[in-house]
Structure 1
Amino acid sequence: MILSLFFIFSLIFASSSAAVQDFCVGDLALPYGPAGYSCKSPSKVTVDDFVFSGLGKAGNTSNLIKAAVTPAFAPQFPAVNGLGLSIARLDLAVEGVVPMHSHPGGSELLIVVQGCICAGFISSSDNKVYYKTLYSGDTMVFPQGLLHFQINSGNTAALAFVTFSSPSPGLQITAFALFGNNLPTELVERTTFLDEAEVKKLKAVLGGTG
């Protein structure tokens, strides 16, 4: 009986030990799959793999939305591969905006470091809107997959850092999804209730055709 129990516990310990893996630094030379990147050989992993220095510099906000997102996702920071988290820097110039968008792969947590940002999201069950003006030190969470936005609501540049519950949270900006592609104008009209002139105007601004 004792020998049998010892044998069973030995098997359990062996299988659990084999399953333990401290990390899986992504090998960017290999394709990205549903489970992320394949692991870099441990013999080639160094301390530098666990350090990312790209968030100390402001992003370029001289664009249509006057905003810049500097990501430290798995493709930029392979050490987060498989760990279920990532981070990004958000710079918003005066009047800057991150338009209504969603992250299909993860929830988001934003902390304001400088300036003030009006941020909010829309629930999927009843389209209820949750929004608030955030100031330095304030934090807001945006549940996975829900439409949300951030707007610089002050008269100075704003800075925030954003963490995600995924190394690759994904991104879909609603306006670009609707008007930045080649979906025929007639179909866009019917699915958005906008008139032809407005659809064509938005397509021209956002790079769409059709």
Structure 2
Amino acid sequence: MAWPSLALVVLLAVSIFVTDASDPDILTDFIVPPGTNTSLLNGAFFTYTGFISSNAADPAKFTATKATVVEFPALLGQSVSYAALVFGAGTLNPPHIHPRASELLYVVQGPLMVGLVDEVAGKVYTQTLQTGDMFVFPKGMVHFQYNAGTELARAFSTFGGASPGTVSLPGAIFESGIDDNVLQKSFHVDQATVETLKHDLAPAVPVAPPPSTAAPGLSTRSAALAVLVGFGAAFWL
């Protein structure tokens, strides 16, 4: 096969893959769950009220309240979904991707720093957004948000898909069962560091205070920094 023909096949395959990763077109105006009596359908089906009632945001943490097809079934087939993001001072939405949708973020209470990784160009694009600013994260590209200030920050995100999916990279790397040897070689760290990172990323559970003789280890802040540094290095190594 000639080189131009091979290149065309590759481009066509990429195009098909991207299309398949998006919401499919539907043949009706909207979709109702199986078994629904459509004669009883009313405005409540098209209404979602969970943003306020389900958003018990801790101002000291990062909180994401979603309205995807899981929480709001009327979105099925509509190629759109939403999320409300609340950032406590100094909190982070770690590097992650949305494999099935682009994201348009709108800051309603800033400032808020955002970042986008272009692995092809080997660059990170960052911007500190103010209240009223918007930023787009293309589908499937690694990105993050960080509140570097001392006050609460808030934003809303619109997704170009009813089920955008979220893959948190720290969790996907250190909590998915990848062999420790692979992690050590990938991030150029020792076994103790890998274990510390896994421990710091694990969900918090009530435990008794550790004894004063406990062995020293990385702090959560140091562990998170190691993840980000190692993750960034992975793109250029």
**How does the TM-score come out when normalised to structure 1?**
0.77
Q: How many Å apart are 1:157 and its aligned residue?
A: 0.6
SS in 2 for 1:201: helix
1:53 to 37, 44, 49: 49
SS in 2 for 1:49: helix
Query: Could you list the runs of 5+ residues in structure 2 that have no partner in the other structure?
Result: 1-25, 204-237
1:110/1:140 contact within 8 Å kept: yes
Query: Could you list the runs of 5+ residues in structure 1 that have no partner in the other structure?
Result: 1-18, 28-37
In proportion to residue count, which structure has more helix? 2
Aligned residues: 177
Counterpart in the other structure of 2:175: 180
1:113/1:136 contact within 8 Å kept: yes
Q: How many Å apart are 1:40 and its aligned residue?
A: 4.8
Alignment of 1:138-157 (within 5 A): 138-157=133-152
Matched, 1:171 2:178: no
**Matched letter for residue 73 of structure 2:** P
C-alpha change, 1:125 and 1:39, in structure 2 (3 Å) is farther
Write the distance in 2 (CA, Å) between the matches of 1:46 and 1:112: 33
Counterpart in the other structure of 1:69: 64
C-alpha change, 1:40 and 1:123, in structure 2 (3 Å) is farther
Counterpart in the other structure of 2:111: 116
Counterpart in the other structure of 2:232: none
Matched, 1:24 2:31: yes
Counterpart in the other structure of 2:76: 81
Counterpart in the other structure of 1:159: 154
Write the distance in 2 (CA, Å) between the matches of 1:73 and 1:193: 38
1:82/1:167 contact within 8 Å kept: yes
Write the distance in 1 (CA, Å) between the matches of 2:40 and 2:161: 24
Residue by residue over 1:155-202, the C-alpha shift from the partner in whole angstroms, topping out at 9 and shown as x without a partner, is 111110000000000011111111123223212112222222211110
Counterpart in the other structure of 1:96: 91
Identity among equivalent pairs (%): 34
C-alpha change, 1:82 and 1:200, in structure 2 (3 Å) is same
- Computed over aligned residues only, the root mean square deviation of the Cα atoms, in angstroms, reads 2.1
SS in 2 for 1:55: helix
2:59/2:86 contact within 8 Å kept: no
C-alpha change, 1:41 and 1:193, in structure 2 (3 Å) is farther
